[in-house]
Amino acid sequence: MRHVLVPIDGSEPSERALEHVASAFPDARLTLLTVIDPSSGFATGANAPGTAEVWYETVRERAEEQLAAAREEAESRGMTVETIVETGRPAATIVDYAEREAVDQIVMGSHGRRGVSRLLLGSVAESVIRHSSIPVTVVR
């Protein structure tokens, strides 16, 4: 049985990635992964004393809600699903998890940004493609 990893961030592209997996790999063992990026907490002012923990708990709760919704969708299609939340830089965490857990395929959404916005914001999908030794399918 193939093991497929789908990073979930609550966006439309990650929902489309999950739909793709359901049609392309219906018998796969599916892992849904959400990565909490601690650096995004600093960007939102969570570095003030006492607020980092509140920020983290809020973000973790949101991640678990998104994963629960995605899990429900995948299980309604008869898929075997595992969910996980990890903390770190998103692209590196996705690649590390996939290699550590013997994932056969990574399927992820991409916002399809181009030009200056891509240069400024970076591309998690592009970084995963560059650093992963595991096949990556990007759904837009």
The band of 96, judged by pLDDT with boundaries at 50, 70 and 90, is very high
> What count of other Cβ atoms lies within 10 Å of the Cβ of residue 37?
17
In order of start, what are the domains of the chain with their CATH numbers? 3-139 (3.40.50.620)
Residue whose token pair is 């939340």: 85
The tens digit of pLDDT for each residue in 69-85 reads: 999 999 999 999 999 99
Dist CA 37 CA 27 (whole Å): 31
The band of 40, judged by pLDDT with boundaries at 50, 70 and 90, is confident
Rounded to the nearest integer, the mean pLDDT of the chain is 89
Provide the β-strand partners of residue 115.
none
Tell me the mean pLDDT in the region 91-96.
Answer: 98
The tens digit of pLDDT for each residue in 41-57 reads: 655 555 566 688 888 99
